[in-house]
């Protein structure tokens, strides 16, 4: 078989690139060894957010009386929770397959192996092999969970996010190793489901990639919900104790032990290039990712790579943008990905979303800046929702012409952040942002008030003492 473009990997980077390729007039073949949709749709973003919604509904029941509603009895049915999650995942993966077929992308189910600069061997499900030749090849094979070298990390009951998504029995007590996005999201979900959750984080803060003020505030709110967080700590060893597990933890030279039912390892992800034969055809890479240039071309001309497999920001929407741009560059278009405006959301209780520079990054760059914060406790819509914890924080240049970063912790932060992305992409001044009328009552008014605060024009928060 001969084609214009071979895409290896059917995740958000690969399938988007394949569809964009056909839009540009290319004949495209996509190879996927597992289910279409990749980690995001099958074992990442979508199933996690489905469980997050279940946890949110459960939280409504817990606080029903605060809304004036009496609920006499309710319980979590984990079997039905899993069934709903699988239904959502199947709907979306089937949708991806339908989109690929509608765009006349040829789908090959099997394992890919690069055998030359223009040829890929595919091992099909029945064990047979076929060779596909393509003018260009795009590697979008994604990433997989990585486990740190902790003694006992391979014991039964020590799980990754993939196994955590398939739980049929809720652990009474769980230790989560790693306070990054994955660990924090599962901590929130399992805590709402009823598990006793302890997070062990090696660094001195959870979600270290986020503005420290927001991270600190989230830590306090998670503590308030009963989630225990141990920072600046390390799990030295895991061992069995009867039917359970014990985590040996060291902090500042002191040792503690935590007995639990499960230990979730969520310390990060690593590129997934198993069986691709990168070394065999001379593609440069290391443990951080495949090396690419500004066109996403690898060290072998005609072979490109995007998404998690090249390292960088491991987010589904970043992979999708890179996939589109890589294919557009193949045909001569001069598009690019704006890595300065990547929205990042963490689905916990409350949600956290961010775009642009944190206050720490602004300081590191020696930029003159001003900050304005508006608390959701002063937002009418948040109060009607009984969800008023958190704030909108805007960091702008001292001359108020440029917004450097926006950080939101609170209700619907994952949706609200895109107003910030749009105004920053349009390079609106703070004055222009503050002049945009917002509907009332809406959560988005918190963004408006924060922007007005930079100009000392906020109506719904007291003047800042200077």
CB atoms closer than 10 angstroms to residue 212: 15
Packing angle of the helix pair 78-102, 45-62 (nearest 10 deg): 140
Is 460 part of the annotated catalytic residue set? Answer: no
* Residue 320: both structure tokens together: 């999708």
Q: Are 373 and 354 in contact (CB under 8 A)?
A: no
Q: Are 6 and 34 in contact (CB under 8 A)?
A: no
Q: Are 307 and 324 in contact (CB under 8 A)?
A: no
| Cis amide leading into 292 (omega within 30) | no
Instruction: Spot the catalytic one: 63, 317, 440, 460.
Output: 440
Strands 119-124 and 143-145: unpaired
Packing angle of the helix pair 12-23, 316-330 (nearest 10 deg): 30
Measuring CA to CA, which residue among 396, 372, 381, 373 is closest to residue 444? 381
Contacts of 423 by beta carbon, 8 Å cutoff, 6+ apart? 403, 432, 433
DSSP H helical segments within 194-342, as ranges?
212-224, 278-281, 316-330
Contacts of 144 by beta carbon, 8 Å cutoff, 6+ apart? 39, 269, 270, 271, 272
Measuring CA to CA, which residue among 180, 194, 186 is closest to residue 165? 186
Q: Which are the catalytic amino acids? A: 440
């Amino acid at each position: 078989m001969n084609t214009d473009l071979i895409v290896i990997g059917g995740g958000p980077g690969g399938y988007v690139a394949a569809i964009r390729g056909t839009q540009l007039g290319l004949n495209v073949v996509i190879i996927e060894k597992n289910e279409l949709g990749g980690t995001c749709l099958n074992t990442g973003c979508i199933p996690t957010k489905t469980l997050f919604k279940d946890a949110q509904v459960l939280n409504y029941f817990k606080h029903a009386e605060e809304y004036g509603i009496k609920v006499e009895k309710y319980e979590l049915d984990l079997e039905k929770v899993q069934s709903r999650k699988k239904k959502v995942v199947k709907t979306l993966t089937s949708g991806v397959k339908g989109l690929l077929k509608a765009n006349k992308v040829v789908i090959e189910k099997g394992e890919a192996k690069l055998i030359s600069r223009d040829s890929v061997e595919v091992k099909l499900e029945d064990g047979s092999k076929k060779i596909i030749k393509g003018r260009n090849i795009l590697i979008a094979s994604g990433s997989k969970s990585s486990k740190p070298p902790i003694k006992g990390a391979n014991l039964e009951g020590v799980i990754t996010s993939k196994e955590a998504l398939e739980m049929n029995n809720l652990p009474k007590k769980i230790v989560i190793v790693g306070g990054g996005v994955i660990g924090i999201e599962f901590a929130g979900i399992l805590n709402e489901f009823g598990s006793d959750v302890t997070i062990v984080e090696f660094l001195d803060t959870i979600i270290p990639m986020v503005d420290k003020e927001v991270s600190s505030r989230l830590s306090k709110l998670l503590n308030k919900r009963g989630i225990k967080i141990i920072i600046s700590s390390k799990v030295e060893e895991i061992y069995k104790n009867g039917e359970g597990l014990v985590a040996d933890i060291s902090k500042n030279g002191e040792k503690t032990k935590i007995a639990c039912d499960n230990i979730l390892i969520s310390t990060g992800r690593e590129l997934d290039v198993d069986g691709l034969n990168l070394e065999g055809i001379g593609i440069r890479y290391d443990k951080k990712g495949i090396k690419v240039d500004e066109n996403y071309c690898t060290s072998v001309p005609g072979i490109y790579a995007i998404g998690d497999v090249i390292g960088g920001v491991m987010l589904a929407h970043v992979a999708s943008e890179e996939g589109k741009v890589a294919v557009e560059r193949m045909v001569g278009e001069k598009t690019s990905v704006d890595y300065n405006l990547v929205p990042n959301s963490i689905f916990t209780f409350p949600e956290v979303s961010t775009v642009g520079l944190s206050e720490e990054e602004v300081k590191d760059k020696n930029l003159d800046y001003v900050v304005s914060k508006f608390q959701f406790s002063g937002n009418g819509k948040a109060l009607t929702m009984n969800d008023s914890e958190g704030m909108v924080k805007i960091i702008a240049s001292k001359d108020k012409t440029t917004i450097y970063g926006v950080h939101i912790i609170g209700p619907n932060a994952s949706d609200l952040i895109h107003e910030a992305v749009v105004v920053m992409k349009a390079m609106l001044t703070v004055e222009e942002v503050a002049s945009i009328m917002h509907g009332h009552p809406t959560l988005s008014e918190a963004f408006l008030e924060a922007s007005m605060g930079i100009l000392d024009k906020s109506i719904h928060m007291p003047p800042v003492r200077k």
